[in-house]
């Protein structure tokens, strides 16, 4: 479940995490945008709700030096008994250059160097690294903290290869089942195998709603996703084009329980190992959705 933080107090976010745990959902994922700090929120929520795994989806790399991010992630691990998955990603050119003022000219090189430093830091190892885009010198000491699972948000071939080579898996968004089966799974799995790593986790991010009024929910989601794939996030447009669909609503799953279960099964058959579900229905619809999602792990 992808926990919605927009417009909610910390208590409201904790309430969503608790509801997900009570429904039997395996993991609560928090985004990192311009608002609540995802890792800080997960540390608090994890102390309040002990029966659910926790994940970031995703923390942008450019604004956080690997030493700073490693210290924060290991603190969350310590606070929550080792339940964190740390998913990171380079974000998008429009965000990184306009909001943060960093260059986005070499994102693949940046991510490779970032992961080269971050992974050993998460293991508590000292790092002395001077790359073309990044310098890291130091270590992070958080007693008794175990390394979190490290994942990379990846859609294009180069990022997927990095995810397979250097992390435990990937998190996708706005990606349909054919694209998962024909592009994401083979690319990342081949890279993981060549690097001698285990089969990767493939967390598929989807908007899902169990509803008896699918047309109304599609209209609502169309308004929410109106800007997806239209300009500042070309990687999303690329995924929609690979799937052969026009909008992000076309890869959402909306309908009654039978319909939603059938569509989720298509993703599972395509190679999805986990689902990260965005809820956008009524309270009653979201409860139905959570119950169904829980059965998929």
- What CATH code is carried by the domain that includes residue 199? 3.20.20.30
Assigned domain for 164 exists: no
Assigned domain for 17 exists: yes
Q: Which of 129, 153, 177 is the last residue of a domain?
A: 153
Q: Which of 99, 123, 153 is the last residue of a domain?
A: 153
| Domain coverage including residue 105 | 1-153
Residues 71 and 128 in one domain: yes
Residues 121 and 198 in one domain: no
Residues 111 and 198 in one domain: no
Q: Which of 120, 153, 186 is the last residue of a domain?
A: 153
Taking only the tens place, the pLDDT of each residue in 47-96 is: 999 989 999 999 999 999 999 999 999 999 999 999 999 999 999 998 99
Assigned domain for 160 exists: no
Residues 85 and 197 in one domain: no
Q: What pTM value is reported for the model?
A: 0.96
Residues 65 and 116 in one domain: yes
Residues 179 and 101 in one domain: no
Residues 132 and 214 in one domain: no
Assigned domain for 22 exists: yes
More confident residue, 103 or 295: 103
Assigned domain for 162 exists: no
Percent of the chain with pLDDT over 90: 92
Q: How many other C-beta atoms lie within 10 A of the C-beta of residue 120?
A: 19
Residues 223 and 259 in one domain: yes
Assigned domain for 212 exists: yes
Residues 193 and 293 in one domain: yes
Region of poorest pLDDT, from 13-27, 55-69, 163-177, 223-237: 223-237
pLDDT surpassing 90 at residue 198 = yes
* pLDDT tier at 251, thresholds 50, 70, 90: very high
Assigned domain for 198 exists: yes
Residues 193 and 239 in one domain: yes
Overall number of domains in the chain: 2
CB 154 within 8 A of CB 164: no
Residues 286 and 203 in one domain: yes
CB 297 within 8 A of CB 274: yes
Assigned domain for 254 exists: yes
Coil, helix or strand for 171? strand
Average pLDDT over residues 225-248: 91
Per-residue CA distances from 130 to 87, 114, 124, 150, 152 (Å): 23, 11, 19, 22, 21
Coil, helix or strand for 146? coil
Residues 57 and 149 in one domain: yes
Q: How many other C-beta atoms lie within 10 A of the C-beta of residue 7?
A: 7
CB 111 within 8 A of CB 162: yes
Cα 184 to Cα 169: distance, rounded to the nearest angstrom: 11
């Amino acid at each position: 479940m992808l926990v919605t933080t927009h417009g909610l107090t910390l208590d409201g976010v904790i309430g969503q995490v608790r509801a997900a745990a009570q429904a039997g959902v395996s993991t609560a994922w928090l985004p990192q945008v311009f608002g609540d700090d995802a890792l800080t929120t997960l540390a608090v929520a994890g102390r309040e709700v002990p029966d659910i795994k926790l994940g970031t989806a995703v923390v942008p790399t450019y604004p956080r030096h690997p030493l700073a991010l490693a210290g924060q992630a290991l603190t969350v691990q310590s606070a929550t008994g080792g339940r964190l998955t740390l998913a990171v990603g380079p974000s998008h050119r429009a965000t990184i250059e306009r909001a943060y003022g960093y260059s986005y000219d070499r994102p693949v090189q940046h991510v490779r160097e970032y992961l080269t430093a971050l992974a050993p830091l998460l293991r508590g190892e000292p790092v002395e690294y001077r790359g073309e885009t990044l310098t890291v010198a130091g270590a992070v000491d958080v007693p008794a903290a175990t390394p979190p699972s490290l994942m990379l948000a990846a859609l294009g071939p180069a990022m997927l290869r990095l995810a397979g080579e250097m992390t435990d898996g990937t998190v996708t968004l706005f990606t349909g089942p054919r694209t998962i089966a024909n592009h994401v799974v083979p690319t990342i799995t081949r890279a993981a195998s060549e690097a001698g790593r285990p089969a990767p986790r493939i967390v598929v991010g989807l908007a899902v709603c169990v509803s008896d009024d699918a047309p109304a929910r599609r209209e609502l989601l169309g308004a929410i996703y109106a800007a997806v794939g239209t300009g500042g996030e070309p990687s999303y447009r690329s995924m929609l084009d690979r799937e052969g669909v026009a909008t992000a609503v076309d890869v959402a799953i909306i309908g009654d329980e039978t319909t939603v279960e059938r569509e989720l099964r298509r993703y599972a058959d395509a190679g999805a190992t986990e689902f990260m579900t965005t809820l956008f229905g009524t309270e009653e619809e979201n409860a139905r959705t959570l119950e169904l999602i829980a059965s998929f792990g």
